[in-house]
């Protein structure tokens, strides 16, 4: 809703500052851009909206889209990984990045995504555990 409100305010600014047909066309295009952005980015209703992230045991990660396609993911590292968000680069020509914030995933899943983004692999148990006991 915030996206639509901001684009509506921008459209009203065009109508306030500009005059004539140019103002009406600029306002209409700004409002249509807001609707398209909300549909694609905020509501995730487009056919290319991300639906899941798969991280394989080999360390490769893929993003699955609504239309059934997938794209490889690579971590950006550095400040792109915090306890609040993880920014990922999609190897897809139409969508350059994917931002995952803490509230989008369960706590443990988000922690695993952060670990993968930092180290390129998931934590796992050693193959041969030492026997317990003293």
CA-to-CA distance for 58 and 112, rounded, in angstroms? 15
What pTM was estimated for this model as a whole?
0.64
- Where in the chain are the domains? 2-42, 50-119
Closest residue by Cα to residue 90 from 48, 38, 39, 40: 48
3-state secondary structure of 60: coil
pLDDT digits (tens, 9 = 90+) for 10-63: 999 999 999 899 999 999 999 999 998 887 776 777 777 788 899 888 888 998
């Amino acid at each position: 809703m915030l996206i639509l409100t901001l684009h509506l305010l921008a459209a009203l600014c065009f109508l306030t500052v500009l005059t004539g047909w140019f103002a009406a066309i600029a306002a209409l295009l700004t409002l249509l851009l807001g609707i398209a952005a909300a549909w694609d980015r905020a509501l995730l209703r487009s056919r290319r909206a991300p639906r899941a992230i798969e991280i394989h045991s080999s360390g490769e990660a893929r993003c699955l889209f609504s239309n059934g396609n997938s794209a490889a993911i690579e971590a950006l590292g550095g400040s792109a990984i915090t306890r609040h968000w993880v920014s990922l680069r999609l190897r897809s020509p139409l969508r350059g990045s994917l931002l995952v914030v803490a509230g989008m995933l369960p706590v443990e899943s988000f922690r695993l995504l952060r670990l993968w983004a930092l180290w390129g692999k998931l934590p796992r148990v050693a193959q041969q555990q030492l026997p317990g006991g003293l």
